[in-house]
Homo-oligomer: A and B are copies of this chain.
Amino acid sequence: MAIVLGPNRYGKAEVRVVHVDRAAGRDGPDRVRDWNVSTSLAGDLAAVHLSGDNAHALPTDTQKNTVYALAKKLGGIEPEAFGLELAAHYTGSQEAISRARIAIEEYPWAPLGPGGHSFARSGQYTRTTTVIEDRELGRSVVSGVADLIVLNTTGSQFWGFPRDEYTTLADAYDRMLATTVSASWRFRTPDADWGPAFTAAFAALTDAFTQTPSYSLQQTLYGMGSAVLAAVPELCEVQLALPNKHHFVVDLAPFGLANEDEVYYAADRPYGLIEGTVLADDAPDAGIAWS
């Protein structure tokens, strides 16, 4: 048996960059982009691992600098556009680097007050994107949303499930349904109207959550993914991970009280976890998009 090097990549993770666009001048409004950028490079890096020859290892410190420099050069553009430029920079300028992966989390801020210069972090969700450029395999863009916590107080059921020796769960004909949405949608091509695409996908996702009659969180997941694909033709695939954040009706009978779906215990762990993919049947092969 010999030992060999397999797939590898390296980069700088969680570069926190905030860009302020002051183009509107003294009276504003300014525009704020608040990003957490992680970059990863791959290519001809065997010698770095095997012999300590770093001739191909552009430092991660340089990668950090590059994020800041391009934030200046490119201005407060959409994160997908930034990722594409940044990825192209590496594959275009470093011969040893054949693939670059750029992941960005964007934290939205809402205007605060009338002055045009004040903001409050919205906290409602995180916008995400992952751009990959491979010199041979091309480019991919996967965007999405995370940390979005949503709740339906009615309209969810769960019954008709199989029962085995370890099943004690009762049928539910009207339960609370809450989840923290993590959704990622793949673009057919690395060329779209990024801002409107996000807005439309987000709206479709939340509309489907609120309006889908649900016999399971799986069904809700499928409804959410389908709605996103139907709303944004530039997309071909949606992956969702939906934790079932259980809200249990508290048994108040020992205290002589009826609990008519009023008082709930919001549990931390364990939680259900529903993961699934919804696709257009003509979706191009994903290639490296999810790597």
A11 touches B272 (CB 8 A): yes
A13 contacts the other chain (CB 8 A):
yes
* Number of A positions contacting B (CB below 8 A): 144
- Taking the closest CB of chain B, its distance from the CB of A289, in whole angstroms, is 13
Determine if B123 and A264 form an interchain contact, defined as CB atoms under 8 angstroms apart: no
B59, B93, B221, B222: which contacts A161 (Cβ < 8 A)?
B59
Q: Mark A218-259, 1 if CB is under 8 A from B, else 0.
A: 110110011001100000010100011001001010111101
In contact, B19 and A263 (Cβ under 8 angstroms):
yes
Copy count, this protein chain: 4
A166 to chain B, nearest CB (A): 4
A21 CB-CB contact with B under 8 Å:
yes
A273 CB within 8 Å of chain B: yes
Contact with B along A88-120 (1 / 0, CB 8 A): 000001101000000000000110110101111
In the bound complex, residues from chain B placing their C-beta under 8 Å from that of A49 are 216, 218-219, 221-222, 276
What is the CB-to-nearest-CB distance from A180 to chain B, in angstroms, rounded to a whole number?
9
A20 to B177, CA, bound (A): 13
What is the CA–CA distance of A68 and B89 in the complex, to the nearest angstrom? Answer: 38
Q: Given A206-B120, A268-B268, is A216 in contact with B54 using a C-beta cutoff of 8 Å?
A: yes
A144–chain B nearest beta-carbon distance, Å? 15
Residue of B16, B148, B250 touching A270 (CB-CB under 8 A): B16
Which of B5, B11, B226, B259 has a CB less than 8 Å from the CB of A273? B11
Are A151 and B206 also in contact (CB < 8 A) when A8-B275, A264-B18 are?
no
